[in-house]
Structure 1
């Protein structure tokens, strides 16, 4: 899927003179229509990427296979995806290595799953947990579309992490845990049960209140090292002769990453010395973390845009179509699918 001539079923990225990318799936007899003319897929099939082609109106395009970043931003989605800038940081600070046994919760559309699967390789495993079945279907189709076949080390489980993780993960058997969910502190017991001593836990949260509550929950448990957190802001630059300056727009806050490591059983974390006196958490602080209405952490209370079942079903159907076409482009795809 990453080398050789372009084949039907593969995704390609077309970049016009303004630098605007468009991603299409190659099909026998297919055509790509825009207001600037028609480009026939036959002009691309059998060619190597990196070529420049013209449509029937003479409009020229650079042809390249989409990188992982490109695929994530163009793939069908139900839930909001974890942006590439955050996925890269998660892989780095969690130290995801080839052969690692990783647990992920909050699969969404599978964007982060793709980066984790790339990092663990063919001999690693990724156990992913998702509460919504429609989101799980979108994620599975997107992953299969990118790799051209099901990943041999990936399994998706539908349900709450707290309930399902003890069923599928032996105590102390996980090397890394990555959570992208509304209330990760509710999974603290399950994570500490599954994570091996020295293992890394990384959580992705959107708001300061979530970050603060998770931090205090980890400290109170005395099962982990002192948590560390940061956010990443990405600013691109305009490059035009001597007019070299920052772009006017940037990908600013998307979420906070919090990382900590599992201590061995019956060990007490070191109390780190601080220049300023650390304030104690009061009952008033705890109440301030709770939503004003019913105390529930939901997408609505966090002002997140909910994803309807109808939108998720459309995205799942689109993702499955792309995955089916990608499988036909992989010479061993049907054999691998049958074996599984």
Structure 2
């Protein structure tokens, strides 16, 4: 293979397991076409095959061998931009079994759960594999990602999507990844695994707090992804009541585009609003507990109507006889 010129970069090393390629487009790669109205089309390049749309067709052979970042015209005059899809673009257009974790939340998980190269991470459940791709890229080939999924059909979709993104074939998978079909609340304790991070994306993550605590090393992080306020409250209070975690931090991220044309600078008409809540907490060392909070909860926060988990320093409040009159 000829040496690249000073203004060229070689292809990304295969053993980096990045899911990214440099250089000319090649057969078997996926490309992303964007038309003049911003509509997106993703497909795999196959020699001799055609891409069809309402603007005619394109020959795959006319794309293979060209450097990405070019415009091409279809047989009926439609114009398309041609690029390799980014990870953030791939996950929102890939086939789905379960709903995917969107890039704005995946980015928050990778950054604020501090997923690092070489980390040992537990993920439950795997869904369609969107977050799995981000986690695998973050831990790298020398880390480890152990994923759990209760439903075989979702696991099958995830396997195909992860293989498609990282360019594997047949039974080959990312060397850092293992996927188990089963309930993480049962499988994780039985495995006796130790992990730096535990990521929970499930209907009742509070049921897995004990299993996460047992698996996490001191200083490790549990990160929980939940969609509703009732789930948010239950998981935060369960983490507090456990006593082996720092004060949980809960948040959500909202993304708003901006329209910029000359003097017409304004927020976009569409925005990516609520998708889910994220919660993180750090594991205390064995036998250590978080110091009691000096700030008292708001009046009524843990009143008679509250029936969820209760922190150890919050007493059960008696019924207010005045309120019953």
TM-score w.r.t. the length of structure 1 is 0.81
- Alignment partner, residue 88 of structure 1: 107
Distance 2:40 2:294 in 1: 51
- Alignment partner, residue 331 of structure 1: none
Q: CA deviation at 1:52?
A: 1.4
CA RMSD, Structure 1 to Structure 2 (Å): 1.7
* Alpha-carbon contact 2:260-2:266 (below 8 Å) kept: yes
Structure 1 counterpart SS, 2:31: strand
Distance 1:47 1:234 in 2: 34
Superposed, which structure 2 residues align to 1:1-340 within 5 Å? 1-149=20-168, 150-170=173-193, 173-274=194-295, 277=298, 281=302, 284-286=305-307
Change (3 A) 1:284 1:168: same
TM-score w.r.t. the length of structure 2 is 0.84
Work out the number of aligned pairs and report it: 286
Structure 2 counterpart SS, 1:285: coil
Segment drifting more, 78-87 vs 54-63: 54-63
* Alpha-carbon contact 2:246-2:282 (below 8 Å) kept: yes
- Higher relative contact order (CA closer than 8 Å, sequence separation 6+): 1
- Following superposition, which runs of at least 4 residues in structure 1 exceed 4 angstroms of deviation? 275-280
Change (3 A) 1:58 1:260: same
Distance 2:210 2:102 in 1: 28
Change (3 A) 1:260 1:287: closer
Structure ID, larger Rg: 2
Change (3 A) 1:246 1:133: same
Q: What 5-or-longer segments of structure 2 have no aligned partner?
A: 1-19, 310-325
Distance 1:198 1:222 in 2: 14
